[in-house]
Amino acid sequence: MSTTAPLAPYDALSAVYDRWTAENDYARWAAHLADRFRAHGRVRRVLDVCCGTGSITALLQQQGLEVVGVDGSAGMLEQARSRTAVGTELIEARLPGAIAAADATFDAAVCCFDSVNYFRPEHLAELFGCVARLVRPGGLFVFDVNTRHKLESLLGNSHYGDDLGDFAYVWRNRYHPEEQRCDFSISLFTRSEEGFARQPEHHSQWWFSAEEIRSAARAAGFEVAAVTDDYREQAPGPETLRETWTLVRAPAPSG
């Protein structure tokens, strides 16, 4: 069995990511997003931040929306190209940082499947600022986050694994309470001519308090419109694993 040095997140996982996450209810998430857009009005052009393999991008396109995807992983974007509509604009960019798109040209932005948790707390306002630059005044930003309860109590110091035939994985977690961080060490085993090749990746996620999110939103010029439990309409509670936040970019000053 061969092995390699640790890879960047999703360098290896991108090839099997859709099978690994097949149980995700992307259709429900996309339906919730579409409901938010209809309730808000005049949402036609959407930026999918950290679009990954394009599952949400494609589902929103099926709702008749023009969707542009941005992600830092070339491997994930390669998968997205095979799923999304022909001609879909897919931008490779590491966030927080500049995105090659014109200012205030999107009616809404989305960021799904705990992608926001990959950003350190001190980078949250910068991320929101990047998004705010691209969303028109009055536009929406809808994203989800894994909660402290999930990272601390469910994932915490645990490990998982499975054998899916042509690939297998071992996933070990280490929780660091003083840093609000959970580290994921993932070893992916895929078939090669010499047997199975081990491809290790290291991921980290941070949880945020409600005040941290609200403060970062305010700093970026967003107002909080709603916080719900996992793409549903009910309010989050102490057992909530994923929160869905809806922000509205403040209107431009009059006069």
CA-to-CA dists, residue 110 to 33, 166, 209, 244, 247, angstroms: 8, 33, 20, 10, 10
**Spatial distance between the Cα atoms of 20 and 11, rounded to a whole number of angstroms:** 14
Tokens standing for 89? 């604009």
Radius of gyration of the chain (CA): 18
**Spatial distance between the Cα atoms of 125 and 121, rounded to a whole number of angstroms:** 8
pLDDT digits (tens), the chain, 255 positions: 445 556 789 999 999 999 999 999 999 999 999 999 999 989 999 999 999 999 999 999 999 999 999 999 999 999 999 999 999 999 999 999 889 898 999 999 999 999 999 999 999 999 999 999 999 999 999 999 999 999 999 999 999 999 988 899 999 999 999 999 999 999 999 887 777 889 999 999 999 999 999 999 999 999 999 999 999 999 999 999 999 999 999 986 654
CA-to-CA dists, residue 121 to 124, 161, 183, 214, angstroms: 5, 29, 15, 12
> Of 92, 86, 28, 85, which is closest to residue 61 (Cα–Cα)?
85
**Spatial distance between the Cα atoms of 180 and 207, rounded to a whole number of angstroms:** 6
pLDDT value, residue 254: 56
pLDDT value, residue 231: 98
CA-to-CA dists, residue 80 to 86, 136, 254, angstroms: 11, 26, 40
* pTM tops 0.85, yes or no: yes
For the chain, list the domains and their CATH numbers. 2-11+150-206 (2.20.25.110), 17-146+209-249 (3.40.50.150)
Q: Which uninterrupted H or E stretch holds 141?
A: strand 135-146
> Of 54, 204, 222, 238, which is closest to residue 139 (Cα–Cα)?
222
For 151, list phi and psi in degrees, rounded to 5.
-70, -35
